[in-house]
C-alpha cells in the first residue's frame, strides 16, 4: 500500500489475448508508454500470440484475467457441463451470469476447476502471474471471490484487483449517465469493503483505489489528465482496453470503446509529464507485492 501522502499509479491493459489489435497495443504501450501490467485471458482467440509476446516482454507484469463470462473455457465442456454450453462458451450477459452463479451452488466446484485451469494455462506457458482480476470484475462476486482467494494462495499469486472507484471523481470528469455510474459505484464499494478485509487476512496485496470501471473504454488522454489532479494518496490502478484499431473481435464485444484513444493516452508525453510534475510514481503489482514483504 502507499505510505504517507505518496501517490502511485499502476496502468493495466485488460483482455490481453483477445485480438491482434489489442495484443499489438499492449506491446507498444509497454515498450514506449506508461503500461506496466497486462491481464491475460487464458482461452481467448489470440492467447497463444499473447503468450509469445509476453515472453518477449519480460518486464511486463502479468496477471490472469479470470473469465467466466463472454468467452470460452479452458477445460473441455464435458468436465464443466453445468458451467458452459456444448461449445465451451460462457453466458454473455453479466446480470444473468451473476444471478446464476449466486443461486446455483452446484456450479462452484466447476468454477474453481475452470479458474484453476486458466491459471495453470499461464503457468504452463512459462509465465509468472503476479495478480488476478476478473473479466467484467466478476471476481468480486460474493460466491466467486472466496474461490479466487483460495486459488491466489494455492498458486502463490500475491495480488488481486479491488475495483473500488470514487464515483464522484468520475462524474466530475465524465458526467454522462450519472445514475448507472452511481449505482455501479455503490455496489462495487460494498463488495470491495467486504473483500479488502479478506485480502488482508489472507496476506495478499491490492490497490487502494481504481479507475476504469465507471468510464470503461474511455480512458482517454483528456480524462486521465484530469484524473491526475484528483488522485488520492495510495496505490491507484487504472485499467484500460487499448487497441491499434478496432478489429472484428473488439467490435464484437465492445464497439463503443475508444481503443485508439486509450492507446494514445498510454503513449502520451503530456500524461507522462503531468504524472512526473505531480510527483506520482509508476509501479506494477510485482513491485507492490515486494514492498509488502
Q: What is the pLDDT of residue 291?
A: 84
Q: What is the per-residue pLDDT across 169-188, written as a single tens digit (0 to 9) for each? A: 999 999 999 999 999 999 99
CATH superfamily, region 7-292: Glycoside hydrolase/deacetylase (3.20.20.370)
Q: What is the per-residue pLDDT across 21-38, written as a single tens digit (0 to 9) for each? A: 999 999 999 999 999 999
> What's the rounded Cα separation, in Å, for the pair 122 and 40?
8
pTM, to two decimals: 0.95
> What's the rounded Cα separation, in Å, for the pair 163 and 213?
7
Q: What is the pLDDT of residue 3?
A: 42
Mean pLDDT of 189-200: 94
Average pLDDT, the chain: 95
> What's the rounded Cα separation, in Å, for the pair 243 and 264?
9
| pLDDT reading at 290 higher than 70 | yes
Q: What is the pLDDT of residue 94?
A: 87
Q: What is the pLDDT of residue 2?
A: 39
| pLDDT reading at 41 higher than 90 | yes
Mean pLDDT of 70-97: 94
Q: What is the per-residue pLDDT across 206-258, written as a single tens digit (0 to 9) for each? A: 999 999 999 999 999 999 999 999 999 999 999 999 999 999 999 999 999 99
Amino acid at each position: 500500500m502507499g505510505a504517507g501522502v505518496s501517490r502511485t499509479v499502476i496502468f493495466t491493459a485488460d483482455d490481453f489475448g483477445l485480438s491482434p489489435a489489442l495484443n499489438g497495443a499492449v506491446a507498444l504501450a509497454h515498450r514506449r508508454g506508461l503500461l506496466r501490467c497486462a491481464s491475460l485471458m487464458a482461452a481467448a482467440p489470440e492467447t497463444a500470440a499473447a503468450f509469445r509476446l509476453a515472453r518477449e516482454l519480460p518486464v511486463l507484469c502479468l496477471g490472469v484475467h479470470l473469465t467466466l463470462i463472454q468467452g470460452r473455457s479452458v477445460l473441455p465442456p464435458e468436465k464443466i457441463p453445468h458451467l458452459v454450453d456444448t461449445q465451451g462458451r460462457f453466458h454473455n450477459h453479466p446480470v444473468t451470469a451473476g444471478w446464476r452463479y449466486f443461486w446455483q451452488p452446484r456450479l462452484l466446484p466447476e468454477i474453481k476447476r475452470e479458474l484453476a485451469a486458466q491459471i495453470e494455462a499461464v503457468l504452463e506457458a512459462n509465465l509468472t502471474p503476479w495478480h488476478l482480476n476478473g473479466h467484467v470484475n466478476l471476481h468480486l462476486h460474493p460466491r466467486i471471490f472466496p474461490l479466487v482467494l483460495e486459488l491466489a494462495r494455492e498458486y502463490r499469486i500475491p495480488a488481486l484487483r479491488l475495483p473500488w472507484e470514487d464515483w464522484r471523481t468520475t462524474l466530475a470528469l465524465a458526467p454522462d449517465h450519472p445514475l448507472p455510474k452511481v449505482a455501479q459505484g455503490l455496489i462495487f464499494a460494498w463488495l470491495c469493503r467486504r473483500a479488502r478485509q479478506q485480502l488482508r487476512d489472507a496476506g495478499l496485496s491490492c490497490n487502494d483505489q481504481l479507475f476504469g470501471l465507471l468510464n470503461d473504454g474511455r480512458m482517454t488522454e483528456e480524462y486521465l489528465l484530469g484524473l491526475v489532479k484528483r488522485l488520492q494518496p495510495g496505490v491507484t490502478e487504472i485499467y484500460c482496453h487499448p487497441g491499434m484499431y478496432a478489429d472484428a473481435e473488439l467490435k464484437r464485444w465492445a464497439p463503443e470503446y475508444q481503443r485508439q484513444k486509450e492507446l494514445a493516452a498510454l503513449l502520451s508525453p503530456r500524461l507522462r509529464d503531468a504524472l512526473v510534475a505531480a510527483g506520482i510514481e509508476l509501479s506494477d503489482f510485482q513491485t507492490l507485492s515486494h514492498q509488502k514483504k
